Amino acid sequence: MTDHKTSKEQKYDRQLRLWGDHGQEALENAHVCLINANATGTEILKNLVLPGIGAFTVVDGHKVSGEDVGNNFFLTSSSIGKNRAQAATELLQELNSDVSGNFVEESPDKLLDNDPEFFHRFSLVIGIQLPESTCLRLGSVLWEAGVPYLVCRTYGLIGYMRLIVKEHTVVESHPDNALEDLRLDQPFTELKHHIESYDLDSMEKKDHSHTPWIIVVAKYLEKWYSEHNSQLPKNYKEKEAFRQLIREGILTKENGAPEDEENFEEAIKNVNTALNPTKVPSAAEDIFNAEQCENITSQSPSFWVMAQGVRDFIRNEGNGKLPVRGTIPDMIADSDKFIKLQNVYRDKAMKDAAVVSKHVEALLQSVGKPPESISEQEIKLFCKNAAFLRVVRCRSLAEEYSMDTFNKDEITSCMDSTDSEMVLYLMLRSVDRFYQQHSRYPGVYNYQVEEDINKLKLCVNSLLQEYSLNVNVKDDYIHEFCRYGAAEPHTVAAFLGGSAAQEAIKIITHQFVPFNNTFLYNAMSQTSATFQL
């Protein structure tokens, strides 16, 4: 068992460094459904099977064609004529023995007719190259069931993805550059005491120059307060005066020249960020004010239960502030002083988290749930990330397609520039319209390309008319989409395969932030864009 665990740790080492053991656990508990095992589909699954998704189920009623084998790495010529779900599952399964692969030899339409609840069991459903009608039908089933749905499509040199998830919460968004949480403007009692334990004036040079800058700033802030009515230095003039105050604290040599005290330099450099007033970021504020945070029931996800716990902390013990994050940046200091200071913040963070924990416990009890249904560990993580919480809410497909609710403004304003990736979206919608009318995609065969250009143009116009969109779609794009003939070049499928798999991992692990809600990739120009439709 331990052997298995360590070998898994080794195998997944490079990704565990990104999403941690708990992210991996979420991945291993997930079951993803893939509809249609064409090149885009198998490439996505490949990138989920490799990192060790728990299970996948391929739904596909097609028989493998020669074309399919041409662009798909997980089909071979010997599988021509067999069911595509089965053939692909065999070769995908072979990638990773930790993963359980399943297949259903049926078309999604049939499943939707006979057993729509089939789809309720999955952590995520990924639909590839679906006809519009199927896509919308499946969309409404999954929306009702609250199952996240990712739509993907490779059409010629164009990649398209649409994410439909009612509400997706993220505790660990892993922001790239976050401000520190130091509380120097409003030090908590333990920090105050710790600061008081220092006396810069009576220090030996070595200690003086190895006192963490946080302490240095705090000390001179006390001095400042005594001369300025206990007001923080606010504007430039005051902050500069404050810096000067610190500068004057640098020890001097016998000849009067200042000593080289890097910690003081750091203090001066950090005056700005260090004196940032402590407050709840507006994005987090929105979450605490959300209706879901207010109305906790026994059905509420733990995210919202904890959110209310933190909110109660802010309103009571926290005096308007978030729980202390408990981390400090590295800085010039000797080990002992640094570790002691770090522990002051860490201990306070633990205390705050314990208080939040009490709120959460009470809350759980009030809705009749056992207090252990949310672990201490989860609460600590939540408190630590309280400033970076994110909630993603996507619109439904029904809203996107309805005449009353489609996002006309976004489409029209993007189309001010005729080469915006938005034109690709309109073209894909027109191609679907073409399919509805002709039961085939434009330009599939050489001899039809010319006539299809005009037919597709009619579809573009009728789409624009129907939605009263007063925008200009260049003929070049109509011609180009006919050239594609619904081809699925492998490299474009592989691009989507990578990006869709990563979005799936975000949805499953609740780490990092998924896109919202439509992504278009143009392989011709190697550009992409995200729209909210």
Partner 1 sequence: MADGEEPEKKRRRIAALTENMAVESCNIGDWDGRWSHVRKFLERTGPFTHPDFEPSEETLQFLLETCKILVIGAGGLGCELLKNLALSGFRHIHVVDMDIIDVSNLNRQFLFRSKDVGRPKADVAAEFINQRVPGCNVVPHFKKIQDFDASFYRQFHIIVCGLDSIIARRWINGMLLSLLSYEDEVLDPSSIIPLIDGGTEGFKGNARVILPGMTACVDCTLELYPPQITFPMCTIASMPRLPEHCIEYVRVLQWPKDKPFGDAVGLDGDNPEHVQWVFQESLKRAAEFNITGVTYRLTQGVVKRIIPAVASTNAVIAAACATEVFKIATSAYIPLNNYLVFNDVDGLYTYTFEAERKENCTACSQVPQKLQFPPSAKLQEVLEYLTENASLQMKSPAITATLEGKNKTLYLQTIASIEERTRPNLCKTLKELGLADGQELAVADVTTPQTVLFKLNFTSETCSIKQVESPRAVFGVPLISLRKRGQMRQGLPLVLTHIVEFVDKHGLSETGLFRVGGSVKRCKELRKSFDEGGFPEFDSRDVLTSASLLKVFIRELPGGLIPEPHRTQLLKVFRDSKKEELNQAVRTVLNSLPEEHFNVLCYLMFFLSRVAAESHLNLMTSENLSIVFGPNIFHVPFSPTMVEEQGQCNTLIEHLLDNLIHLLPNMYPHASNSNTAERDWTNEECVQQLPLKEIRLKVPKIGRLGRLRKRLGCFWRKLCSCTYSSDI
Binding to partner 1, residues 229-288 (CB under 8 A): 234-240, 243, 271-273, 275-276, 282
CB under 8 Å to 278, separation ≥6 — which residues?
A: 181, 183, 185, 186, 321
CB of 404 to partner 1, least distance (A): 27
The residue type at 130: L
Nearer to partner 1, 308 or 499 (CB): 499
Q: Tokens for 448?
A: 């039809």
Would you say 254 and 194 are in contact if contact means Cβ atoms under 8 Å apart?
no
C-alpha dist (Å) from residue 125 to 36, 226, 369: 11, 63, 30
Residue 446 lies near partner 1 (rule: CB under 8 A): yes
CB of 31 to partner 1, least distance (A): 19
Nearer to partner 1, 92 or 195 (CB): 92
Nearer to partner 1, 125 or 163 (CB): 163
Pick the stretch among 119-127, 249-257, 393-401, 493-501 that binds partner 1 (CB under 8 A).
493-501
Pick the stretch among 50-58, 111-119, 136-144, 347-355 that binds partner 1 (CB under 8 A).
50-58
Residue 497 lies near partner 1 (rule: CB under 8 A): yes
Residue 203 lies near partner 1 (rule: CB under 8 A): no
Measured CA to CA, the distance from residue 288 to residue 315 in angstroms comes to: 11
Q: Tokens for 270?
A: 């950090």
Binder among 110, 222, 298, 339 for partner 1 (CB under 8 A): 339
**Would you call the peptide bond into 319 cis, given omega within 30 degrees of 0 as the criterion?**
no
Pick the stretch among 61-69, 132-140, 406-414, 463-471 that binds partner 1 (CB under 8 A).
61-69
Residue 208 lies near partner 1 (rule: CB under 8 A): no
Q: How many residues bind partner 1 (CB under 8 A)?
A: 114
Residue 335 lies near partner 1 (rule: CB under 8 A): yes
Residue appearing with tokens 């920090």: 191
Which DSSP string do the residues of 400-411 spell out, in sequence order? HH-TTTS-HHHH
Residue 418 lies near partner 1 (rule: CB under 8 A): no
CB of 366 to partner 1, least distance (A): 34
Nearer to partner 1, 95 or 203 (CB): 95
Residue 514 lies near partner 1 (rule: CB under 8 A): yes
Residue 122 lies near partner 1 (rule: CB under 8 A): no
Residue 206 lies near partner 1 (rule: CB under 8 A): no
Q: Which residues pair with 390 in a beta bridge?
A: 170
Nearer to partner 1, 115 or 476 (CB): 476
Q: How far is CA 213 from the centre of its chain?
A: 34
Residue 333 lies near partner 1 (rule: CB under 8 A): yes
Measured CA to CA, the distance from residue 512 to residue 19 in angstroms comes to: 9
Measured CA to CA, the distance from residue 347 to residue 330 in angstroms comes to: 18
| Total residue count of the chain as it appears in this document | 533
Residue 516 lies near partner 1 (rule: CB under 8 A): yes
By CB atoms closer than 10 A (0-12, 13-18, 19+), residue 404 is exposed
Among positions 352-411, residues that touch partner 1 (CB under 8 A) are none
Among positions 91-110, residues that touch partner 1 (CB under 8 A) are 95-96
CB of 408 to partner 1, least distance (A): 21
Output the furthest CA–CA distance in the chain (Å, rounded).
Answer: 93
C-alpha dist (Å) from residue 337 to 181, 274, 342, 379, 392: 19, 18, 9, 29, 42
Residue 116 lies near partner 1 (rule: CB under 8 A): no
Residue 118 lies near partner 1 (rule: CB under 8 A): no
Measured CA to CA, the distance from residue 174 to residue 416 in angstroms comes to: 35
Q: Which residues pair with 159 in a beta bridge?
A: 154, 521
- Which of the 8 DSSP states describes residue 180? -
Among positions 66-85, residues that touch partner 1 (CB under 8 A) are 66-67, 69-73, 76-77, 80
Nearer to partner 1, 470 or 491 (CB): 491
- Using only the alpha carbons of the chain, give its radius of gyration: 29
